[in-house]
């Protein structure tokens, strides 16, 4: 499989180069040259397959032959050594739990997969690769854990000061070894802009090999299609019209679900559930795509004012607005509505959601008002204990800390303050 830049200026390239470079030389995101649907029999019998078998069949066309079959199967197996259960809440709404991995967030899948791919490509390379990642919350911890101890790889994580939860901060600032955290005075968008600027800084790139572990990287983004398939495997014999409500920030998750749909997965519709950072909600109402500076919310991992992956979504639909809108709805919700949803979910079902899942739940309810035949599955993207200050302020219960959280909660934060690109570049040149 070759990949092309969505800016259509850079030459097409291999999966390996797309992973190592992260961003194309013309500043564009890489996208597969073609997507071949799987045989319908694959989905007809999907409930007979293991998660590892499903994931391997789904991903292999995007990677073969650059990673041998046996190695790719091992990568898939090591990536997916935890569960992805669907929990029914009502007759029309279920949730897909994506928080059973090592950092209790959905990004564990992409981070672990990418780390293993990069480790394979770098195994005989004497040059160190520096992975840059901007995080609005969960990406940093997942990447830190996924890349910890990977030979020949150094990870530098940028996060906005005061805009991630305490547990999220501990997960990305306490591991040491080849992981470094930079605390940025600003927003996630500021962090993301610094990363993108570094990729285009020839003075830097001439001296060091940089790549990204954000969902702009194809190896971080594509594996996210797996869990849509895992959910369908559990639901196909129960419901006909399955709709996914995806709490959306940088839009890599819902975009990966659309790739699964292109492969033939029978998904009826997608919902992009936004907080007050609602550029896509506004776009689908007006046809005017207008990024704005992000604002801070209680669902902080979605605080993105200029979602990088939306250009990939447009590419999937050949930049046809009407075709896109026929398969994607979007709703946005305030912090007040999010907190009310947390309480509603708990009071009516006994389920404790996190703020991002609550936004996904609200998106499901909004869609169901005019699509009563659907069964909506909202993605519970992180464990509620990662947002204890929000959840416990709404629901008057004590939530036990899982072992993954206990392992970091008492560790000492180690982070370097960075206030602008000049300081960030100076830090990188000293590595």
111 in any annotated domain:
no
Residue 33 has pLDDT above 90, yes or no: yes
Residues 319/358, Cβ–Cβ less than 8 Å: no
The answer on pLDDT for 312 being more than 90 is yes
d(CA 179, CA 101): 19
CATH code for position 365: 3.40.50.1100
107 catalytic, yes or no?
Answer: yes
* 22 is a domain residue: no
Answer whether residue 36 shows pLDDT above 90. Answer: yes
- Domains in the chain: how many in total? 1
Give the chain's largest Cα–Cα span.
58
pTM confidence score? 0.91
Q: Residue 74 falls within a domain, yes or no?
A: no
Q: What is the pLDDT of residue 152?
A: 84
| 265 pLDDT tier (thresholds 50, 70, 90) | very high
Confidence of residue 9 (pLDDT cuts 50, 70, 90): very high
Residue in 107, 163, 170, 233 annotated catalytic: 107
Q: Is residue 383 part of a domain?
A: yes
Chain centroid offset of residue 185 CA? 23
**Span 178-198, pLDDT tens digits:** 999 999 999 888 998 999 899
Q: pLDDT tens, 242-258?
A: 999 999 988 999 999 99
On whether residue 265 sits in a domain, the answer given is yes
CB 344 within 8 A of CB 287: no
Q: What is the pLDDT of residues 286-304, one digit of tens each?
A: 999 999 998 999 998 899 9
List, as one string, the DSSP characters of 258-325. Answer: HHHHHTT----EEEEEESS--HHHHHHHHS----------SSGGG--SS-TTHHHHHHHTTT-HHHHH
pLDDT, residue 388, reads 87
- Calculate the average pLDDT of the chain: 93
Check residue 300 and give its pLDDT.
Answer: 87
Residue 280 lies in a domain: yes
Can you give the residue range of the structural domain that contains 245? 84-105+222-400
> What single-letter DSSP state applies at residue 384?
G
For the stretch 100-156, pLDDT in tens is 999 999 999 999 999 999 989 988 777 788 999 998 777 888 888 888 988 888 999
Instruction: Please state whether the peptide bond connecting residue 65 to the residue before it is cis, i.e. omega within 30 degrees of 0.
Output: yes
Whether 236 maps to a domain, the answer reads yes
Q: Is residue 24 within 8 Å of residue 245, measured between CB atoms?
A: no
Q: Which of 37-51, 126-140, 177-191, 354-368 has the lowest mean pLDDT?
A: 126-140
Please indicate, yes or no, if residue 192 is contained in any of the structural domains: no
């Amino acid at each position: 499989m070759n990949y092309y830049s969505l800016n259509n200026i850079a030459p097409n390239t291999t999966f390996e180069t797309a992973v190592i470079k992260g961003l194309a030389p013309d500043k564009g995101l890489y996208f597969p040259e073609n997507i071949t649907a799987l045989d319908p029999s694959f989905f007809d019998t999907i409930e007979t397959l293991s998660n590892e078998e499903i994931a391997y069949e789904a991903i292999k066309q995007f990677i073969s032959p650059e990673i041998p079959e046996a190695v790719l199967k091992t990568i898939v197996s090591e990536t997916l050594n935890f569960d992805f259960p669907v929990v029914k809440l009502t007759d029309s709404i279920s949730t897909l739990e994506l928080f059973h991995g090592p950092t209790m967030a959905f990004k564990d899948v992409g981070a672990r997969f990418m780390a293993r791919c990069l480790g394979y490509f770098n195994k005989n390379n004497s040059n160190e690769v520096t992975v840059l990642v901007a995080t609005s919350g969960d990406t940093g911890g997942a990447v830190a854990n996924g890349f910890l101890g990977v030979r020949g790889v150094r990870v530098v994580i940028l996060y906005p000061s005061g805009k991630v939860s305490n547990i999220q901060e501990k997960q990305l600032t306490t591991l040491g070894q080849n992981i470094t955290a930079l605390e940025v005075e600003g927003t996630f968008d500021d962090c993301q802009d610094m990363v993108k600027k570094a990729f285009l800084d020839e003075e830097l790139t001439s001296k060091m090999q940089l790549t990204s572990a954000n969902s702009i990287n194809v190896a971080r983004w594509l594996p996210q299609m797996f869990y849509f398939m895992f959910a369908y495997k559990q639901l196909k014999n129960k419901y006909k019209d399955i709709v996914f409500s995806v709490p959306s920030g940088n839009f890599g998750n819902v975009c990966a679900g659309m790739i699964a749909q292109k492969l033939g997965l029978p998904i009826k519709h997608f919902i992009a559930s936004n907080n007050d950072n609602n550029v896509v909600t506004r776009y689908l109402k007006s046809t005017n795509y207008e990024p704005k500076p992000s604002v801070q919310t209680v669902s902080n991992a979605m605080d993105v004012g200029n979602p990088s992956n939306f250009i990939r979504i447009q590419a999937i639909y050949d930049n046809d607005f009407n075709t896109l809108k026929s398969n994607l709805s979007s709703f946005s919700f305030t912090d007040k509505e999010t907190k009310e949803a947390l309480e509603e979910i708990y009071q009516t079902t006994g389920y404790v959601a996190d703020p991002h899942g609550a936004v996904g739940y609200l998106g499901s309810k909004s869609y169901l008002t005019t699509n009563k035949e659907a069964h909506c599955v909202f993605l519970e993207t992180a464990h509620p204990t990662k947002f204890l200050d929000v959840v416990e302020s709404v629901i008057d219960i004590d939530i036990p800390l899982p072992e993954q959280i206990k392992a970091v909660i008492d560790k000492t934060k180690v982070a370097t303050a960075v206030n602008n690109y000049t300081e960030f570049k100076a830090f990188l040149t000293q590595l």
